[in-house]
Structure 1
Amino acid sequence: MSALRNRPEASHRPPRLQTNEQWQELALCAQVDAETFFPDKANAARAREAKKVCSACEVRVQCLEYALANHERYGIWGGLSERERRRLRHKGAPKSIDHQAFRSRAL
């Protein structure tokens, strides 16, 4: 019982830290058919549609960082295709993406 008395009141507790996946709740792709982000290689129009959604997404950088960290091999993540992410990795992508530069990059 004394352990409960020594607990800080809710208003005095530090804020909960975000988990790495909480950005997904803000992702625009959650509002679009998932198939859009996994187009056939021959379906360039669908890939462009996915990248257009990504370009307006506020968590685009976090999405790309997640895909790079987890070696996602398929689909459009953070506005980049499998091939584009592979090129980025081969160039020695930084552990963290420059958010400002990436946001301003045109797709």
Structure 2
Amino acid sequence: MKYLIQVGMVVREREPGRRRDHYRAHQSSWFDAVASNLNVFERFEAGAGDGVEVFGAGTPVGDRLDEVRRFFAFLREEVPLLLAKWEAQNADQNAGRKGPGTS
């Protein structure tokens, strides 16, 4: 629970006058956690790019680091598109559950 609280996926609450803690997961906490960590891809991409410069392109280490750089560049571009696609799909499904004439 401590980790989930640290990453913002769960919040600890206590009713006034009570000693027992209650834990509540945010409705979209997993989505928010992914969306808020997109800069991690940039950091890995940049770090691998620096490594290519240090070890040199065309060397075994440089080639592996370039693959890492390209992979995180790919994720950095694709994950936001996937998140947007998920939001649209989820909104459509949620709207369909409400049914006609309901709000």
Task: Name the TM tier (shorter chain).
Answer: under 0.3
TM-score normalised according to structure 2 size? 0.26
If asked which structure has higher relative contact order (CA below 8 Å, sep 6+), I would say 1
Higher Rg: 2
Higher share of residues assigned helix: 2
TM-score normalized with structure 1 length: 0.26
